[in-house]
Chains A and B, each alone.
Chain A
Amino acid sequence: MNNQIMKKRIGFPKHLDKIRRIMPNLVSILESGKENCRYCFAWFEENKSIQSSCAQIESSTESLDRGIVLRALVNGIHYERSTNQLDEAFLIKMAKDFRFFLDQKYDEHYAYQVHSYTPSTWSEELSRGLDEELVAQIPKNPDAKTLVHFGASYEIDPNQTDIHSLKEMTRKLRSDLFERSKKFVREHNQALKNEDVFEDLVEIQNFVNQEIKIHIFVDRYKNMSQSLLLTCGGAFGVTKIGRQSRSLKGGLGGLEVIKFSDRDLDEVSCTSVKLDKAEFLKPGRYQVITGSDVTGVIAHEAFGHTQEGDTWMKGRSIAKKLHEDKIKVGNDQATIINNPAVFNMDKKNYGPNGSYFFDHEGMFARSQKILDQGMLSLPMADLASSIKLSVPRMANGKRESWRRPLMARQTNTYFTPGDKTLDELIAMVKYGFLARLSQGGMEDPKGGSLTAGASYFEEISNGKLTGKLFLGPSGGHIELSDPVFTLLEKIIAKSKTSNPDNIPDIKFGGCGKYHKEGVDAGCGGPYILWKDINCG
């Protein structure tokens, strides 16, 4: 998609010039003279964020976190030393101590059992093909000494965004939402003449968060950096009995990515109130339409985790054997993409929060079909799993922060779009529900089952939304759960997108692999009509 509005890119910040100058030296200390049996890189990250939240109690936070990781891959083991002590003398000593440790462990007589890894050069990567957003930012004929920088684009300058402006935004939004909710309750109650009246919300909480992430990666062939600007904002309303509904907007860009529509504002101010009168769903199987965020969680859980390279490598995924045996695990509509190179989506001129230019091991962002019309592909491999499984390496090596280990992780995972409108999908339902707002999910990669949560259901009867809302059988959110293969056989139809790259809406999301290691992960897709799903 061509940018309709002039966007700027975030440049490389001057205050990090010094650390960038030090990093090649650190790599050299670790690797020099041992390149035939050792692969080393240095990774630096700076995460700077500002957040303002408005509720009964207001708060504001500014945080800055920096850290460096030195990696040495020797004989199939990935050794790392990481710290936030960034003065040059400390880092050089750390690198020298690390080198001493490695030299002691792998002395000149050591018989290596695993071949060393040789990283790719710029020309090799370019000849493999890259997204135009990356190609446009790479200077001609780059080499190991070329400082290459990739910057995310924005409309509203993050340098002009401070806590004061965020505070004004959140205060106004909270006040507007309360006003909107009170008006809705007043008008509804007048119309009902004291029958079944709604009560006002007791609390509305909202926040805006903006984060600038700077990454520097240096190995023997590359010295590159990226600046990622992530902005998100959200709000939720709470009733006296604790029912709540929310709206969350965000993605790769400045404040322009958190424009709340009327529908978003109503979700917080009116739906929360309506949920006080929601019925409880009877546990059972129902025909369901999932919207972008619930669809996205299903994509992320259904063969997302199963297709992560380290899960394959550990023997913890059912997908490896299914792929090898060429067993079809979904119908022809079951196509799932993992793509870190998403810089526009559906009708939006920005990417989701799982996008980047290269991963945390310096691998360039490329799209991958992890499930193609029901057939499983090779996994999303980080460096470790790519070597161990002898499969192509993808840009899926991610870590929560420099404090945590790197794992094969998803970036943006989404179902491909179909050819219907949402109204056409609703018209296809005799009795069923539209699942609204995701409430997380989890997958069992070995057993092939998944669960995805929806905050509430909207009833559909004879092809029309009835306006009736349903909560889970015990009054909480609703879990949708089925074996993955059964579920992916049950896609009846999907909604379409007008995006020229055929990328549907992808929501701001995150993933905590096995309940830990939180990372950004965009999840999305079209509206999908499922034949039936077990709901409880």
Chain B
Amino acid sequence: MGLSNDQFLPKLKNEIIKTQKEKKDVFHGWKILLSDVRSIQSLMLGDEKLGLVGYQEREVFDHAYSIEIFTRHGNPVMMGNSTCNIDPLSPLNDQILKTLNNALTVNNQLWDLPKIENEKVKDIITYDPALKNNMAAAHQKLIQEASFKVKSLQGVKVNSAELYTNNRSTYFETSTGLIGEQDRTDVYFEIAMEKLPLPNTQEVHLIKSAIGIEDMNISRFIDEALEQTLSLNDAILPRTQENAVVLINTEAIARLLDGLLIQMNAYREYYKTPHMLPGQKVFKGEKLPESDILSITIDPTLPIMAASTKFTSEGLCAKAGKVVDNDTVTLQMITHRMGQYLGKPHNCIVGNMIVPLGRYAKEELLKAQAECLEIVSFTSLMVNPSSLSWSSEIKLGKLYHYGKLKSIIKGGIVSGDLGENLCHFQFSNNERKFNKPADDFSTPRGYSGPDAMLIKTGVKIAGE
């Protein structure tokens, strides 16, 4: 049964409509959001004989309602809005009136709420049927696969693992007639292991999120962790450099380019904070002719990807668009509200980032460099969306001379300026996807593109 048939929903909707009629002088519009999340969570310890052994097993059932109320009030007329979670066991009228009063304290420039547009909502695959239909069985199967795989590993000690499987359904309805429903699934798996013999002071801790079981490919993921762990040797600090050559992986590319995309979001123009407009180059300084060029398409329709969606946050049909072409910004991402504020047509572009591949394999890129530091993992990569600068301690790196591994690197700080980085870079020719469902720390991120990026300008390292 879909959430549109929720038994409490008509009661909530009727109460809101009743209040809107009573307060029609200020009560301009509303939105109801209903979410239903089922989650199974297993926290496990590594065990030599058994593989993985659970020490915490949880099941979560979360069914929640929230509303947003929009007001038009004052002289000159301003617009207010406020959101509130609804407690189904408490009087509804009090909660709606409180939200209305909260909205009346907010004074923003007027905008028209989005209405139904003449476009059919596309059917997008945002969930894995195996997870949606029987999450408990799918969860157990994943644990068995992971545990079996861990038991077979040689030369490492697995310390811990965590597995979360989630089924999330959302339903929304607005006073202007927009209605939508969407189901999502996701899997989170992390594993920590170290190389034998013990004791040692290095560990590999890898995290992967996926929308479906196939994409998670837990055995292959554990193999990647194993390969990384076995490659660990005595690590040294990197040398201090003012212009380092580095190679970064899929997740880091997605993080950096996500910072760039934030500047193409129209709200940045409205806030007057640093932003990019169509026609602007994405690089800063002199572009080297031997560098690759950057193009980015945003696409909400890719199946089984974290940022795929039928709807924008305003409830309109999500759309695709090429936002960067040939190093030049071609489109801003403009919501319905921002379009009105800035006097530009809205385009509802949201979704996954698609980046075209480069010409060379990662190994070829490394082979062509006298010295290159591959950053296997950052301790905590932070990208500043205003300055487009980024930095992190190096958790694990590999130093190559003409493609030959010279030493394992650990520690030191790497920082860069993305604008400068885009003056001279090369992408690999191998495609990889990266998915990170939304959490309390960030919006969903879906990336499909090169699995490596060689950066030859604008990177500094503080080390030995």
CB < 8 Å neighbour of B410 from A321, A440, A449: A449
A203 close to B271 (CB less than 8 A): yes
Listed residue (B54, B106, B391) with the most chain A CB atoms within 10 angstroms of its CB: B391
* B64 lies within 8 A of chain A by Cβ: yes
A79 close to B57 (CB less than 8 A): yes
Listed residue (A316, A403, A451) with the most chain B CB atoms within 10 angstroms of its CB: A451
A536 close to B106 (CB less than 8 A): no
Query: Using Cβ atoms and an 8 Å threshold, which residues of chain A touch B1?
Result: none
Query: If A400-B440, A451-B380, A483-B411 touch, does A80 touch B59 (CB 8 Å cutoff)?
Result: yes
Which residues B373-398 have CB closer than 8 A to chain A? 379-380, 382, 384, 386-387, 389-393, 395
* B453 lies within 8 A of chain A by Cβ: no
Query: Using Cβ atoms and an 8 Å threshold, which residues of chain B touch A536?
Result: 391, 412-415, 460-462
A80 close to B106 (CB less than 8 A): no
A28 to chain B, nearest CB (A): 21
Query: Using Cβ atoms and an 8 Å threshold, which residues of chain B touch A60?
Result: 80, 82, 102-103, 105-106
A283 to B459, CA, bound (A): 11
A451 close to B392 (CB less than 8 A): yes
* B429 lies within 8 A of chain A by Cβ: no
State which of A153-161, A212-220, A260-268, A473-481 sits at the interface with chain B: A473-481
* B231 lies within 8 A of chain A by Cβ: no
A404 to chain B, nearest CB (A): 8
A361 to B347, CA, bound (A): 49
Query: If A59-B81, A447-B410, A536-B412 touch, does A474 touch B272 (CB 8 Å cutoff)?
Result: no
Which residues B394-440 have CB closer than 8 A to chain A? 395, 410-417, 420, 439-440
B384 close to A476 (CB less than 8 A): yes
A114 to chain B, nearest CB (A): 10
Query: If A81-B59, A167-B105, A534-B462 touch, does A512 touch B386 (CB 8 Å cutoff)?
Result: no
What total of chain B residues lie within 8 Å of the partner, measured CB to CB?
85
Query: Using Cβ atoms and an 8 Å threshold, which residues of chain A touch B416?
Result: 474
A483 to B43, CA, bound (A): 29
* B295 lies within 8 A of chain A by Cβ: no
A536 to chain B, nearest CB (A): 3
* A56 lies within 8 A of chain B by Cβ: yes
B56 close to A80 (CB less than 8 A): yes
Query: Using Cβ atoms and an 8 Å threshold, which residues of chain B touch A447?
Result: 201-203, 410
Query: Using Cβ atoms and an 8 Å threshold, which residues of chain B touch A191?
Result: none
Kindly supply a per-residue 1/0 record for chain A positions 49-60, scoring 1 wherever the CB is within 8 Å of any chain B CB and 0 otherwise.
Answer: 000100111111
State which of B84-92, B219-227, B300-308 sits at the interface with chain A: B84-92
A325 nearest in chain B by CB position: B199
B105 close to A52 (CB less than 8 A): yes
Query: Using Cβ atoms and an 8 Å threshold, which residues of chain B touch A441?
Result: 380
Kindly supply a per-residue 1/0 record for chain A positions 154-197, scoring 1 wherever the CB is within 8 Å of any chain B CB and 0 otherwise.
Answer: 00000000011001000000000000000000000000000000
A446 close to B201 (CB less than 8 A): yes
B159 close to A80 (CB less than 8 A): no
Query: Using Cβ atoms and an 8 Å threshold, which residues of chain B touch A460?
Result: none
* A65 lies within 8 A of chain B by Cβ: yes
A388 to B241, CA, bound (A): 46
* A32 lies within 8 A of chain B by Cβ: no
B386 close to A314 (CB less than 8 A): no
A536 to B241, CA, bound (A): 10
A57 nearest in chain B by CB position: B108
Kindly supply a per-residue 1/0 record for chain A positions 313-335, scoring 1 wherever the CB is within 8 Å of any chain B CB and 0 otherwise.
Answer: 11110100100000000000000
State which of A238-246, A501-509, A521-529 sits at the interface with chain B: A238-246
Kindly supply a per-residue 1/0 record for chain B positions 32-75, scoring 1 wherever the CB is within 8 Å of any chain A CB and 0 otherwise.
Answer: 00000101010101100000001111111111100000000000
* B463 lies within 8 A of chain A by Cβ: yes
A241 to B347, CA, bound (A): 27
A514 close to B205 (CB less than 8 A): yes
Kindly supply a per-residue 1/0 record for chain A positions 392-403, scoring 1 wherever the CB is within 8 Å of any chain B CB and 0 otherwise.
Answer: 000000001011
Query: If A59-B81, A444-B379 touch, does A314 touch B413 (CB 8 Å cutoff)?
Result: no
Query: If A313-B45, A474-B458 touch, does A167 touch B106 (CB 8 Å cutoff)?
Result: yes
Query: If A82-B58, A316-B160 touch, does A283 touch B441 (CB 8 Å cutoff)?
Result: no
B90 nearest in chain A by CB position: A15
State which of A83-91, A117-125, A131-139, A413-421 sits at the interface with chain B: A83-91
Query: Using Cβ atoms and an 8 Å threshold, which residues of chain B touch A446?
Result: 194, 201-203
CB < 8 Å neighbour of B190 from A83, A453, A514: A514
A514 to B387, CA, bound (A): 26
A64 close to B85 (CB less than 8 A): yes
A164 close to B207 (CB less than 8 A): no
A81 nearest in chain B by CB position: B59
* B273 lies within 8 A of chain A by Cβ: yes
Query: Using Cβ atoms and an 8 Å threshold, which residues of chain A touch B102?
Result: 60-62, 163-164
A446 to B411, CA, bound (A): 13
B58 close to A80 (CB less than 8 A): yes
A384 to B58, CA, bound (A): 14
A55 nearest in chain B by CB position: B271
CB < 8 Å neighbour of B64 from A84, A87, A163: A84
Query: Using Cβ atoms and an 8 Å threshold, which residues of chain A touch B329?
Result: none
B341 nearest in chain A by CB position: A57
B412 close to A534 (CB less than 8 A): yes
Query: Using Cβ atoms and an 8 Å threshold, which residues of chain B touch A321?
Result: 199
A244 to B389, CA, bound (A): 13
A318 close to B412 (CB less than 8 A): no
Listed residue (A60, A65, A87) with the most chain B CB atoms within 10 angstroms of its CB: A60
Listed residue (B60, B386, B458) with the most chain A CB atoms within 10 angstroms of its CB: B60
Query: Using Cβ atoms and an 8 Å threshold, which residues of chain A touch B274?
Result: 240-242
A237 to B392, CA, bound (A): 24
* A109 lies within 8 A of chain B by Cβ: no
B99 close to A82 (CB less than 8 A): no
* B240 lies within 8 A of chain A by Cβ: yes
A283 close to B391 (CB less than 8 A): no
* A284 lies within 8 A of chain B by Cβ: yes
A283 close to B240 (CB less than 8 A): yes
* A439 lies within 8 A of chain B by Cβ: yes
Question: What are 9 inter-chain pairs, A to B, with CB distance below 8 A?
Answer: A58-B106, A313-B45, A321-B199, A442-B393, A449-B379, A474-B458, A476-B390, A479-B393, A534-B411
13 additional A-B pairs beyond A473-B462, A536-B461, beta carbons within 8 Å, are A82-B61, A164-B102, A244-B386, A283-B462, A314-B46, A315-B160, A444-B379, A472-B389, A474-B389, A474-B460, A475-B417, A476-B415, A481-B413
Which residues of B are at the interface with A, using a C-beta cutoff of 8 A?
37, 39, 41, 43, 45-46, 54-64, 80-85, 87, 89-90, 98-99, 101-103, 105-108, 157, 159-160, 190, 192, 194, 199, 201-203, 205, 207, 240-242, 270-274, 379-380, 382, 384, 386-387, 389-393, 395, 410-417, 420, 439-441, 458-463
7 closest A-B pairs (Cβ-Cβ)?
Answer: A536-B462, A242-B386, A476-B389, A536-B413, A283-B462, A451-B393, A446-B203
